[in-house]
Amino acid sequence: MTGHTPEPTEGPSGPEPLGEARWPMAMAVVTAMVLTVLLPDALRLAPRWLIPAVEGLLLLALIAGDPGRIDRRSTALRTLSIALVGVLALSAVWSTGQLVDDILGNGEETASATSLLQSGGTVWACTVLAFSLLYFELDGGGAAARAHRLPRAPALAFPQQLNPELASAHWRPRYVDYLYLGLTNATAFSPTDVMPLAPWAKIAMGVQSLVSLLILGLVVARAVNVLA
């Protein structure tokens, strides 16, 4: 069911666009698809092209259903978005588990420094993209819902929400904000400028921090062992 789409608000420099452009989110999905293809067979959830093909079909369906800017509120599109994020997250977590198993078992994929860094870096990047898209999709009911109205009690509190005087008129978090959140959470292993308020956000950020710490810690330890 599609909700009524209000007209863009007239600002000092013209009408304010209602929703954000689709292409940043789409590029993140495509990048994750490419990284999945580049993973060694032992670290992938399914045959080389199966997961990227499923993700590509879901992405095409989303683009066809809501092209251009993301502003159409639809149960079907929401379901497709969550399914896409679910496949991305499942693939990334599976690859993380296989990488850990390979490192602990002295497997072929991590036997040399080159293959270790390539595999570890690829898996780590996949987790950053998967979690950034997870935050992007779940916060405030998704991008389409946020385009119409920000929630009074956000699940993820950005600086512009905590200090409204810092925000420009009609500010909304965009995908780049969630990508930055995913990247900093994977490197600092804790919240930086974005505070998780909802239980699901705290759990998701906690899981991402643990996954990232596990990947980086084991890769560094294995690299020292290989090079020694």
Task: Render pLDDT for 55-64 as a digit per residue (tens, 0 to 9).
Answer: 999 999 999 9
Q: Is the pLDDT of residue 93 over 60?
A: yes
**What is the reported pTM?**
0.87
pLDDT at position 147 is 87
pLDDT at position 223 is 77
Q: What is the mean pLDDT of the chain?
A: 86
Q: CA 157, 161, 166, 171 torsion: positive or negative?
A: positive
pLDDT at position 89 is 94
**CA-CA-CA-CA dihedral for 185, 126, 139, 55, to nearest 10:** 180
Nearest CA to 78 out of 89, 70, 90 is that of 70
9 pLDDT band, cuts 50/70/90, is very low
- Cα separation, 228 vs 213, in Å, equals 22
Please give the full DSSP string across 92-124, using - where no structure is assigned.
HHHHHHHHHHHHHTT-GGGSSHHHHHHHHHHHH
pLDDT at position 3 is 40
- In angstroms, the first-to-last Cα distance of the chain is 61
At 14 the three-state DSSP class reads strand
Q: Is the pLDDT of residue 6 over 70?
A: no
pLDDT at position 17 is 53
At 15 the three-state DSSP class reads strand
At 51 the three-state DSSP class reads helix
Q: Average pLDDT of 99-103?
A: 88
pLDDT digits (tens, 9 = 90+) for 128-173: 999 999 999 999 998 999 988 888 888 999 998 888 887 787 888 9
Q: Average pLDDT of 204-225?
A: 88
Q: How long a stretch of residues is the chain?
A: 228
